[in-house]
Structure 1
């Protein structure tokens, strides 16, 4: 019975995220996780920045401790909820906790806002500065000298990559947790896995870079994120065409997306960017500035159009459609598993 209630809480948390997003009156778990990661990482960089070995092992400790604490907090709340026989307060904690793991409204709203500013505002120096500030909040690259064309591409690449990290990755692992708890309450559950994945995603976004001291400090975090996102990114690859008008080109789109996505160093980012690029008909990749270095990413969908406001809106709609499809699939799988056990 508890796992059925957890599944209903999960569905409710998805709806809450879609309608409300992250409530401002609550401290977001990412803020707590981020504070912990930053404090220890800054200490390691400031005191041992020249030692590759200390940075590596220190970064490994940051990753393991962050994931361990996140998992433990989630598991304790789950156990209390089950042992207290669906206690309302712990159920509420699970509800808001699961909603905080999913970032659909926040991600889509921030990118849509950028697209609408570019579309509806006169592009003068002041408005361009505002647009750059908003883009900089969602990307790690340096966009201070970027053109409007590059700002649109940066926003689109962030949207397509983070749709997996912020939406479909958490949805996948939360659902796996619900299925696990049908077998035993002591197995990883939806909140413990949801919090763990969010911790991994936050670690990767804060220290999982491949330049300067981050190359060693964030190595372990980046590898864990690659592993946990491997399956969700490929599920997005094979399911996204099903909610598009290009479903009749299913095989060729998946093949081309996979081949282009494999060109990226990341085993997942390229895949998720590529499938959205081919379905929306845009070209991604190219030069970007990180710190003081110019990095050139492989081109995805060479014959695609440049990113624009309409393409961004299309991608947002695709994300919402795919999320709805995944919910239907989750309901079907949960029903089948429930009948078999």
Structure 2
């Protein structure tokens, strides 16, 4: 019975995230995780910035401890929920915890806001500064000298990549946790896996880079994120065409997306960007500035259109449709497993 309640809480948390997003009156887990990561990493960089070995193993300790603490907290709440007679307080913690793991409303709202600013307002210096500030909040690259065309591409690439990290990755691992708990309450559950994945993606977004100190400090974080995002990114690859307008080109689009995506250093980011690029008919990739270094990413869908506000809104619609499809699939799988056990 507890796993059915967990599944209902899971569905409710998805709806809450879509309608409300992250409540301002609650401290978001990412804020706590980020504070912990920053404090330790700043200490390592300030005191051992020239020692590659200490940075390397320090990064390992940061990764394992962050994930371990997140997992343990989630598991503790799950056990209290299962063993409680009323389930109310534990269920409430799980509800808000799961909702915080999913970032659909926050991600879509921030990118749509950028698209609308570009479309509706005259692009003068003041408006351009405002757009740059909003783009800089969602990307790690330096957009201080970017054109509007590059700002739109940066926003689109962030949206397509982070749709996996912020939406479909958490959804996948939370559902796996619900299935696990059908077999034993001591196995990893939805909140422990959801918070663990959130910790993994936060680690990668904060220190998982390949320049300066982060090349060593963030090595383990980047590799762990690659492993845990591998399956969700490929599920997005094979399911996104089902909610697009090019379902009749299903196999060719998947092949093209996979081949273009494989050109990226990341085994996952390129694939998620590529499938959205081909379904929405846009071109991604090219030069971007990170710190003082210009990095040129491989071109995805070379014959596609340039990014625009209209295309960003289309991608947001695709994300919502795909999320709905995944929920339907999860429900079918859950009740299928329930009938077999």
TM-score by length of 2: 1.00
Secondary structure (helix, strand or coil) at the match of 1:299 reads strand
Q: Secondary structure at the match of 1:137?
A: helix
Q: Once the two structures are superposed, what CA deviation does each residue of 1:144-185 show, in whole Å capped at 9, x if it has no partner?
A: 000000000000000000000000000000000000000000
Q: State the partner residue of 2:29.
A: 29
**Equivalent-residue separation in structure 1 for 2:20 and 2:275 (angstroms):** 28
- How many residue pairs are counted as aligned between the two chains? 341
Counterpart residue number, 2:44: 44
C-alpha offsets along residues 271-296 of structure 1, whole Å, 9 cap, x if unaligned?
Answer: 00000000000000000000000000
- TM-superposed CA distance for 1:64, in Å, is 0.2
Give the aligned partner of residue 196 of structure 2.
Answer: 196
| Mapped pair 1:6 → 2:3 | no
Q: For 1:55-94, list aligned pairs within 5 A.
A: 55-94=55-94
Output one character per residue of 1:314-336: Cα deviation in whole Å (capped at 9) or x when no partner: 00000000000000000000000
Give 1:87 shift: 1.6
Contact 1:283 1:301 in 2 (8 A): yes
State the partner residue of 2:210. 210
Is 1:304–2:320 an aligned residue pair?
A: no
- Cα offsets for 1:222-259 (capped at 9, x unmatched): 00000000000000000000001100000000000000
Distance 2:329 2:250 in 1: 19
RMSD: 0.4
Q: Secondary structure at the match of 2:240?
A: helix
Rounded to whole Å, the distance in 1 between the matches of 2:61 and 2:290 is: 26
1:326 aligned partner: 326
SS at match of 1:8: helix
**What do residues 115-148 of structure 1 show as CA deviations (whole Å, max 9, x unaligned)?**
0000001101111000000000000000000000
Q: Distance in 1 between matches of 2:46 and 2:313?
A: 42
Per-residue CA deviations over 1:198-245 (Å, capped at 9, x if unaligned) read 000000000000000000000000000000000000000000000011
Q: Which runs of 5+ in 2 are unaligned?
A: none
For 2:278, the equivalent position in structure 1 comes to 278
Q: Distance in 1 between matches of 2:258 and 2:8?
A: 35
Match of 1:100 in 2: 100
Could you tell me how far 1:86 is from its partner in structure 2?
4.8
2 CA distance for matches of 1:254 and 1:306? 21
Asked if the contact 1:164–1:232 (Cα under 8 Å) also holds between the matched residues in 2, the reply is: yes
Question: Does residue 272 of structure 2 align to residue 242 of structure 1?
Answer: no
Deviating beyond 3 angstroms after TM superposition, the runs of 4 or more aligned structure 1 residues are none
